Structure 1
Amino acid sequence: MKNSFEVIVVGAGSMGMSAGYYLAKRGIRTLMIDSFDPPHEQGSHHGEPRLIRHAYSGGKPYIHLALEADRLWRELEVASGQKLLVRSGVLNMADLSAGKFTNRLPDSDEAGVQVEMLDADEVHRRWPGIVLPESFEAMYEPDAGYLYSERCVAAYRTLALAEGAMLLPYNPVQHIQADGAGVRVRTRAGEFSADQLIVTAGAWFKSLEPFVSLPIRAVRKTVGWFRGEPNLYDAGVFPGFTLGTENGGYYGFPSINGAGIKIGRHDGGLPWTPGEQAAPFGHLEQDEGDLRRTLSTFLPLAGGELLKGAVCKYELTPDEQFIIDRHPLYTNVLLAGGFSGHGFKFASAVGALLADLIQHVSTTVELNTFSLSRFNQIKS
C-alpha cells in the first residue's frame, strides 16, 4: 500500500465510509483507516435497522439535512443495486408532559414534510397493537421509515473501493501529527501522510487524545428483539416508532422477517471507555427489564420471548447535537462526531458534506448548528 494520499479518513464506520465514497467518487486519493473491519459490531451501526425521519425536533438544519440524506440514500440504492430504505412510516408518540410535536409543524410544513397529528384513540384504531393513555399525542410521518444500516455501510465500502479509495482495517491509530502543510497518521502498518484529514471516530474519539479532545462521552446501550403477535407488529402492517414517556425515551421497529419487534432506550446507559470490554446484554436487569416493561405498557402483545439482545455504543455531546467542524488548531483537519444515537440516518448527507468541506465547496448546510464554538470548554 502506498503511504501518501490527498485525504485520510480515521474511522470508517457510517460517516467515515460515506465520506470515503464521496471523496473517491470525486477523484480524490483517499485512505480510510479503522480499528476493525467495517461493517462491524464495535461501533454504532450494527444491529439493523435504523430509523429515518424528517420532521426533526432540531428545526430547519436537521430537517433539510434529513431530506438531503434521504435523497442520497436513494441514490446509493441505485448505485449499489440493493434495497436499503423501507418506507414503513414512523409513528412518534409522547406524553404531552414530555413535549409537544406541534412545535415541529411549521418548519416541517415549510420543508414539504408530510405529517399527521393523531390522538390516542386514532393511533389504536390504525395500529391495534398500540395502547396509549389519553395524555399522549402522536405525529405520524408516512414517508419516513428505516434503513438497513449494515447494508448501507457495506454498500458504501464496495463503491468506495471501486472508485479507488483504499481501506486499512484492523489498524488502530497510534498517533496523529498535523500542521498547515499536511498530516501524518501512524498505525502498526506504518505511517501515512495526506494533505487533509477527516476524523469520524464515533465512540472512540477519546482514544485520539491529546490530538483532539471533544466534549463527547461514550455510553453502553442495549437493544432487544421480542416475539410479538405477527398480525399486529410485522413489517408491512406496523411502522417504526419513537416513544417519549415519563420514564424515558424509546424507539423501535416492526418485526422484519420474523426477527421480532426491535426496541431500544434512547436515554441512560453506562459510561464506556475505548478499549474496555462492554458488558454483554443481560449483564444488568434493566437491559431487558426496561424494554420489556415498556412493551408491556404500550405494545402489550409485543412483549413475548426475547429472541435476541445486543449491545452498541452512543457517543453523546452535552446537548446531544452533532459536531461537524474544523479542528480548533488545524484547518486541514475536519471533525465529525457526537452523533448521539440519532445520527445514522444522516450518514449519507454528512459524508457528502465532509467531501464538500474538503474541497471548499459552498454548502447550504447551516454549519453553525454543528460548530464547536457552542461549547465553552474545549481542550485541543
Structure 2
Amino acid sequence: MGMSAGYYLARQGVKTLLVDAFDPPHTEGSHHGETRLIRHAYSGDSAYIDMALRAHVLWKELEQESGTELLVPSGVLNLADQSVYSFAGRLAEAEKRQVRVERLDADELRRRWPVLNLPEHFGAMYEPDAGYLYSEKCIAAYRKLALAHGAQLLANTPVLNVTAREGSVTVHTHRGDYHGASAILSAGAWFGSLPPFAALPIRAIRKVVGWFQSIPAFDAGSFPGFTLGTGEGGYYGFPSIGGAGLKIGRHDTGREWKPGEPLAPFGSEESDEGDLRRVLEAYLPGAAGRLLKGSVCKYEHTPDEDFIIDRHPAYRHVLLAGGFSGHGFKFSSVVGEILANLAAGEASKQNIGPFSLSRFGLSPDQPQSGLTLEGIE
C-alpha cells in the first residue's frame, strides 16, 4: 500500500519520500510468493466490491504504463462445503453490482474440471473476470514508476522514531531526520512496533504456502485460481505457472508473530506441509505430488478482519493503513490511490467509512506521542 501511494503521490507532482526498512520487493512483509488472487464478488459491505472493481482498472493502467504483465485473467473458482460456507451473500451482492459470477453444482464442476474430487454436497461460484496478480512485479513496477515521477526511496532504512505536531511530521532514521507536511504509515505486520504513537488492534500471524508437483490439468491456462472452504479449514491457491507446481496456502489458523522475533522457516512445523498436503490429497489429488518449494510470510489482522484506512486519532495529517492481509493485496492499487488523495488534501472517491478507527473506539480525544519503530515499510 505504501509503494502504491508513493507512486500516485509522485504522479501528482507531490514531493514524496518512501522509507522502507528493507529493499522492496522483499520477503520480510506480506507481498512475496509470486502471486495474489484478484476477485470482485464480496459479501458484506459494498465498499469491497466497489474498491475491487476500481483496483482492477488501476492494475490494468499500471500494466500499460509499466509495459509489464501484472494481471492474469485466469478466472477464480470458489469451492465450498455448503454445510460450512454459503455463497448466497456474495452472489446477491455480485448481482447488485453487475459482477459476472456463475453458480455451479457438483455435476457442472466435474464436467468442466474433472480433476477435482468433490463430494456431492460441495458447491461452487466461478468468477470468469477474476484472476491473479504477480505481486512482486507489481511492487517493482510501482517502485520504478514512482522514482521516474520524482519520488525518492530510502531502502534498508529502519525508522527509529516518528514525531508529529500540527502541520508537520518528522521521521528519524540512522541516516538523519526527514520532515514532511503529512505522512502515511503502512507498516504491515510491523504495526506491533508502532505503540504508543498509534496503538492499533492489529496482530501478525505466521503463514505458509507450498508449491506441489501437479499433473498438466493444473497448469496455468487450464486451471483457474481457486479458494476452497472445507470442514478442515479455508484454503486458496493458483495453477502451476511455468512448471513451478500448484501453489496452495491456508487462510485460517497460524501462530502469532511479533516484530523482532525470528520467523520460523517453512517446515519448522509438521502442519506446514501436512495441512496443505491433506487437503490436496482429499480434493485435488492430481496436485498432491512432491513438495517443490515452501515459503513463509505474514498476515496482519484486525479483530474483525476489515481494513484500517483512516487518519491518526491525534494527528489528522498522519494517515494509517493496515490490517490488509488475507485478501488485501488485490486492493493495494486503489488503497494507494485513496491514501495519495487524502494525503494531498483531497476527498476519497471510495467509501472508506467501514475502515474507520471509530469502530474500535479510537477518537481524537486520545493524545498519543512518541514512537519506537523498527521494520516499518
TM over 0.5, shorter chain: yes
More deviation, 28-37/268-277: 268-277
Q: Secondary structure of the residue that 2:210 maps to in structure 1?
A: strand
SS at match of 1:97: coil
Residue in 1 that maps onto 2:371: none
Q: 2:109 is matched by which residue type in structure 1? A: V
Match of 1:6 in 2: none
Write the letter of the residue equivalent to 1:110.
Answer: K
Q: Which residue of 1 aligns with 2:47?
A: 61
Task: Kindly state the Cα deviation for residue 377 of structure 1 after the two structures are TM-superposed.
Answer: 6.5
Map 1:104-143 → 2, pairs under 5 A? 104-143=90-129
Match of 2:264 in 1: 279
1:324 corresponds in structure 2 to 309
Bigger mean CA offset, 269-278 vs 356-365: 356-365
Equivalent residue, structure 1, for 2:373: none
Q: Which runs of 5+ in 1 are unaligned?
A: 1-14
Aligned equivalents of 1:79, 1:283: Cα separation in 2: 41
Residue 57 of structure 1, CA deviation: 2.5
Q: Quote the residue 2:330 is aligned against.
A: 345
Paired with 2:176 and 2:342, the residues of 1 have a C-alpha distance of 27
Amino acid at match of 2:358: S
Aligned to 1:255: 240
2:161 maps to amino acid = H
Q: Say whether the 8 Å CA contact 1:95–1:136 is kept in structure 2.
A: yes
Contact 1:120 1:131 in 2 (8 A): no
- Of 204, 218, 221, which residue of structure 1 is paired with 2:207? 221
Which residue identity is paired with 1:63? I
* Matches of 2:269 and 2:40, distance apart in 1: 34
Equivalent in 194, 218, 226 of residue 233 of structure 1: 218
Partner of 1:52: 38
Is the 1:321–1:340 contact (alpha carbons within 8 Å) kept by the matching residues of 2?
Answer: no
What is the rounded CA distance, in whole Å, between the counterparts of 1:58 and 1:161 in structure 2? 37
Deviation readout 1:154-193 (Å, 9 max, x if unpaired): 0000000000000001111110001112000101111100
Letter in 1 for 2:145: L
The corresponding residue for 1:70 is 56
1:125 aligned counterpart, secondary structure: helix
Residue 314 of structure 1 and its aligned partner are, at CA, apart by 0.3
Instruction: Tell me the TM-score normalized by structure 1.
Output: 0.94
2:84 to 86, 98, 103: 98
Report deviation, 1:340.
2.6
Contact 2:44 2:89 in 1 (8 A): no
> Where do 5+ consecutive residues of structure 2 fail to align?
369-377
- So what's the TM-score if we normalise by structure 2? 0.95
Q: Distance in 1 between matches of 2:305 and 2:107?
A: 32
Per-residue deviation, 1:362: 2.8
2:187 counterpart residue number: 201
Whether the aligned pair in 1 keeps the contact of 2:41 and 2:94 (CA below 8 Å) is: yes
Between the aligned partners of 1:323 and 1:359, the Cα distance in structure 2 is: 19
Residue identity (%): 63
Secondary structure of 2:287 counterpart: coil
Counterpart CA distance in 2 for 1:179 and 1:348 is: 29
Q: Which amino acid aligns with 1:108?
A: A
In the aligned structure 2, how far is the partner of 1:109 from the partner of 1:361?
A: 31
Equivalent of residue 253 in structure 2, options 268, 284, 302: 268
Q: What is the aligned-residue RMSD (CA, Å)?
A: 1.1
Give the whole-Å Cα distance in 1 for the aligned partners of 2:196 and 2:54.
Answer: 34
Q: Which amino acid aligns with 1:206?
A: G
- Secondary structure of the residue that 1:360 maps to in structure 2? coil
SS in 2 for 1:174: strand
- How far apart are residue 104 of structure 1 and its match? 1.6
Q: Distance in 2 between matches of 1:107 and 1:217?
A: 29
| Amino acid in structure 1 at the alignment position of 2:302 | T
Q: How many residues align?
A: 365
Structure 1 counterpart of 2:350 = 365
Shift of the alpha carbon at 1:376? 3.6
Letter in 2 for 1:370: F
Deviation at 1:363, TM superposition (A): 2.8
Cα deviation for residue 130 of structure 1 reads: 1.0
Which amino acid is 2:298 matched to? K
The amino acid across from 1:329 in the alignment is: A
Q: Distance in 2 between matches of 1:300 and 1:192?
A: 54
Q: CA deviation at 1:345?
A: 0.2
